[in-house]
Amino acid sequence: MPPVEEARAIFRRLGYEVSGNGPELLAERKWRTVRVTALGGDAEHAVADGGSVREADYRFQCFVTWTDRTGELVDCLRRAAPECEWAVIGVDHDSEEYDVVHGTEAAPASA
């Protein structure tokens, strides 16, 4: 199950207005609009089919997944090399803790 409510809560805590239903959300604050995609499963499928990396839609994209999937998703995004600014948020299953990895940073080590 994708961490949709967790993604929504994180962006609201950061001061964004969040809209959308399901795993595709828009987070807006001032001049910035971020396309947010919550992913719970196969990162390779989500990125490989082009369905989750839409470079022309939004300049900023954020992918939210469970912490144990973060490294895999970052690797897939780096291979896809989208021409947009992107980040991955890894959400802990049991708490409100999360980690952010930007496209230019190293992925966290897998447990």
Q: Across the 111 residues of the chain, what is the mean pLDDT of every consecutive 10-residue run?
A: 94 97 94 92 56 61 93 88 87 90 64 42
Specify if 9 maps to a domain.
Answer: yes
Per-residue confidence (pLDDT) for residue 106, from 0 to 100 = 57
Other C-beta atoms closer than 10 Å to the C-beta of 84 total 15
Which residues constitute the domain of residue 20? 4-102
Residue 13 phi, psi dihedral angles, 5° rounding: -65, -30
Residue 85: give its domain's CATH number.
3.40.1350.10
Per-residue confidence (pLDDT) for residue 57, from 0 to 100 = 66
pTM, rounded to two decimals: 0.83
CA-CA distances (angstroms) from residue 14 to 8, 18, 83?
10, 11, 25
Cα gap 7→64, rounded to integer Å: 6
Specify if 107 maps to a domain.
Answer: no
Specify if 75 maps to a domain.
Answer: yes
Specify if 111 maps to a domain.
Answer: no
Per-residue confidence (pLDDT) for residue 53, from 0 to 100 = 52
Per-residue confidence (pLDDT) for residue 82, from 0 to 100 = 79
Cα gap 97→91, rounded to integer Å: 6
Cα gap 104→41, rounded to integer Å: 23
The β-bridge partners of 32 are 29
Per-residue confidence (pLDDT) for residue 94, from 0 to 100 = 86
Q: Mind listing the pLDDT tens digit for each residue in 58-77?
A: 788 999 999 999 999 998 88
- Count of domains in the chain? 1
